[in-house]
Structure 1
Amino acid sequence: MRFLAVTLPGLTLCTHIMLGLFFILQIAPPDRAHFSLSYNILAAGASIAGLVGAIRCIPSLVSAYTLIHTITLSFVTLALVDIIAPLPFFLLNPVLPSWDVDDSAICRDIDAGFGWDDEWLSECSKGFKIIKILAVSVTLLLMGAQWWALFTVKKWNSEIRLQQPSPRLDVEKGGILHNEKDVIYGEKN
């Protein structure tokens, strides 16, 4: 599981750096550039924390990563479901823009030079809808794999946290004496 705990933040770090570069290089639409750039910087920082936490077995850093990545996966999953579902998810997902692929407009653009009939346009539109549903379904399947990996990393992090002795509770190393109401810290002789 440690391999997965190192791999997942490494891959998400690459993703958020790439997305941040899209906004820095002005490849992405500028209307949400500042928010998206800020979020990708935050997510890249969380990925670095998760990577360092997984390598050095620091549970608090891995927890910070899993929290940010859970938020990211939630928004992206809602955005993908919004593509194929007729429900207005834009209220639930204000972070990512809602896309609507106008397959009939794409078919009309293709048809502009050839002059095919209405039957061809309806078949073309059906074909694009099928492709859209298949592409989103495959992407949601991959998102399911990310959710599984994230929960596996979270479980591994919980196990690591339980295995690490707390310095306050280790009487042998810390020389801590527990009383009913007082805790006395002392050096071990």
Structure 2
Amino acid sequence: MLRALRLFEGFAGLVARVAATLGAVAGLVCFALVCASVGWRYFLGQPQPWIDHAAAWLVVALVMLAAAETQRREEHIGVEVVTNRLRGGARRAARILSVLSVLAVAAILLREGIETVSFSRMIGIATNIEAVPLWWLHLLIPIGAALLLLVSLAQLLVLLAGGEPRGSAPRDEAGLTAASGSGE
């Protein structure tokens, strides 16, 4: 059973890494656009307002596409003061509770994101940039939520089967990561 779950976890990890790569590209494009905007505004005296909108959308894309990979690597925010002190079953229970929390938030975000996209399409809202419907941008919400749901579900199933999710940083007995010398 754990072997089948590892395949599912591997698939979820692959999808999360591809999405994070797309998120990184969105971040780089955002940086390039902001640099170009500064040049147009201050050196050429020709501000380009569309860049501000596009940069904001790219930041949303970066966040929504990278959230699943952050969860997969267990680089999310944690209450380290508490979790680093836990051992054995209590630590495992805390990890399961953490993943369940992310799973619940991802499910809510997915449902609300789908409703947002449906509403935007229904009323036909457009962005400030001609010919770009707002629902295209809203689509980033359920996509990111689905990715987060996929990764957290894989982690939960592996934890419930008694395994350790891949992607998590190895920890010593004190709960500290080997690379950083600090907890989650």
| TM-score for the superposition, normalised by structure 1 | 0.36
If asked which structure has higher relative contact order (CA below 8 Å, sep 6+), I would say: 2
| TM-score for the superposition, normalised by structure 2 | 0.37
- Higher Cα Rg, which structure: 1
